[in-house]
Amino acid sequence: MSSLIITEELKQKAEYYYGDEKCQEKSKFLLQEVGLPRGLLPLKDIIECGYVEETGFVWLKQQKKIEHCFEKIGKLVSYAPEITAYVEKGKIRELTGVKTKELLIWITLTEISLDDPPTGKLVCKTPAGLYRTFPTSAFELEEDLNKKQED
């Protein structure tokens, strides 16, 4: 697994932003563009985010590590101060900086994708190839779920 270091050279090829408000907006937009739930990365106090369209490489830097519980599935997820990944339609691969708690141990996630054919499930994979599936609705923002119910 290759974790890229965010260099000035990389930034020259990227579209990048500073500040929590702008980065929240851009990260949710990107998730939506690749067909993934916009609530998948519930980060706080984002300092910087970037996207290299040519390769799909994405990075997000937040002030400190956070933990978030996805209430609908009872899953605790830890997000490191720096998260990197490659995104493409329906998939996040080579993910770094995200772990989930299984029983009493933290397990690194390296890939999140929509199942094939799409049945409204997300598949979360570990470096060892283990995976679990969850309903995409567990990662949707409340506002998006409400909008879907209205439509």
Give me the CATH number covering residue 84.
2.30.240
Asked if residues 97 and 83 have their Cβ atoms less than 8 Å apart, the reply is yes
Q: What is the dihedral of CA 123, 124, 126, 128, to 10 degrees?
A: -20
Look at 38 and 120; give whichever has higher pLDDT: 38
Token pair in block for residue 63: 């002030």
* 38: in domain: yes
Q: What is the dihedral of CA 106, 37, 42, 55, to 10 degrees?
A: 80
The structural domain count of the chain equals 1
**pTM of the prediction?**
0.90
pLDDT in tens, 111-147: 999 997 778 899 999 999 999 999 999 999 877 666 6
